[in-house]
């Protein structure tokens, strides 16, 4: 019995020792695993930071290259001018609209600008009428033609001659309102306000419907202000075709007001060269 008890105690002792060793191995293994896991996390963080830094550096490099390319990029050249037999630069007037009174109607007769140019006009047209009445050949109020879907590069406007004798300062307010409405319909178009052209001394002395040279000059000053107020461009055709005395030469127009082709060509050449 003593031997058996001794063996049992010995077996128990060895079993406890093995258990202690196993626990120590598990403990050490866990420490190793935790250390490895910590190293893996650190390594992943390092790689992530390196990747982020690399991405930032790459983005900076790409931006720098893009800026360098933009600074050295060659701008797209403007199309070469194409002149017709009258010396009119058709490239300049392409995709344009001429809007206004008998001045525009007369231009239409001579066909001096490209075939893709639109004329929205009527003899005797005033700003008020252009907002409510159709132009020649039109079916809607003239101003509404600018909302038909076609977008113009340039819009040349001529109003004022028919308002001089009776409407007064209200004309300029109406003109500004109409221009602003057109700018809403044609946001990318450049708008040019042509001055009223001079009349002959004979016509001025006659003063039909109150039309005199002095009133034309006063109205042109107002139109110039309208252009500034609407961020449009004023085109001084008066000076281009007036004679040394400031009047339209007597031989330029049979009625002293509405001149012929030669003077239209002068106006158009001035516009294409000076605007």
Name the CATH topology of 90-274.
Answer: Rossmann fold (3.40.50)
pLDDT number for residue 143: 97
Half-sphere exposure at residue 222, Cβ-oriented, CA atoms within 13 angstroms = 21
What's the angle, vertex CA 183, arms to CA 215 and CA 92, rounded to 5?
80
Query: Sheet harboring 154-158: ordered strands across?
Result: 118-121, 96-100, 154-158, 190-194, 233-235
pLDDT number for residue 275: 86
165 — phi, psi (to 5°)?
-75, -15
Tracing tokens 């009776």 back to the chain, one arrives at 166
Beta carbons of 175 and 223 less than 8 angstroms apart: yes
- Among 135, 81, 105, 152, smallest CA distance to 264 is for 105
Which regions in the chain score pLDDT beneath 70? 1-40, 42-79
Q: List, in sequence order, every residue forming a beta bridge with 194; answer none if it has no partner.
A: 235
Length of the chain: 275
pLDDT number for residue 80: 84
pLDDT number for residue 3: 46
pLDDT per position as a tens digit, 136-147: 999 999 999 999
Distance, CA of 52 to chain centre: 40
Domains of the chain: which residue ranges?
1-73, 90-274
pLDDT number for residue 196: 97
Q: How far apart are CA 241 and CA 248, in angstroms?
A: 7
Please, where are the H alpha helices in the chain?
Answer: 2-72, 90-93, 102-110, 127-132, 170-185, 201-206, 213-229, 237-241, 261-274
Tokens of 13: 């002792």
Number of neighbouring beta carbons within 10 Å of residue 253: 19
pLDDT number for residue 28: 63
């Amino acid at each position: 019995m003593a031997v058996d008890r001794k063996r049992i105690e010995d077996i128990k002792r060895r079993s406890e020792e093995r258990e202690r060793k196993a626990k120590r191995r598990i403990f050490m293994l866990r420490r190793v695993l935790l250390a490895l896991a910590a190293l893996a996390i650190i390594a992943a963080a390092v790689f992530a930071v390196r990747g982020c830094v690399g991405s930032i550096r790459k983005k900076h490099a790409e931006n720098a290259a893009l800026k360098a390319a933009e600074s050295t990029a060659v701008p797209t050249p403007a199309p070469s001018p194409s002149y017709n037999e009258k010396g009119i630069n058709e490239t300049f007037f392409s995709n344009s609209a001429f809007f206004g009174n008998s001045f525009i109607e007369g231009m239409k007769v001579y066909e001096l600008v490209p075939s893709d140019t639109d004329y929205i006009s009527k003899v005797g047209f005033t700003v008020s009428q252009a907002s409510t009445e159709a132009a020649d050949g039109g079916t809607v109020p003239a101003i509404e033609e600018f909302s038909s879907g076609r977008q113009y590069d340039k819009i040349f406007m001529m109003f004022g001659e028919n308002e001089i004798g009776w409407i007064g300062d209200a004309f300029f307010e109406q003109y500004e309102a109409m221009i602003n409405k057109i700018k809403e319909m044609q946001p990318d178009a450049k708008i040019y306000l042509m001055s009223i052209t001079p009349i002959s001394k004979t016509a001025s002395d006659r003063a039909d419907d109150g039309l005199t040279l002095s009133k034309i000059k006063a109205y042109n000053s107002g139109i110039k202000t309208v252009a500034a107020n609407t961020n449009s461009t004023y085109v001084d055709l008066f000076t281009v075709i007036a004679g040394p005395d400031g009047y339209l030469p007597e031989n330029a127009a049979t009625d002293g007001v509405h001149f012929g082709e030669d003077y239209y060509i002068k106006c158009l050449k001035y516009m294409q060269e000076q605007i």
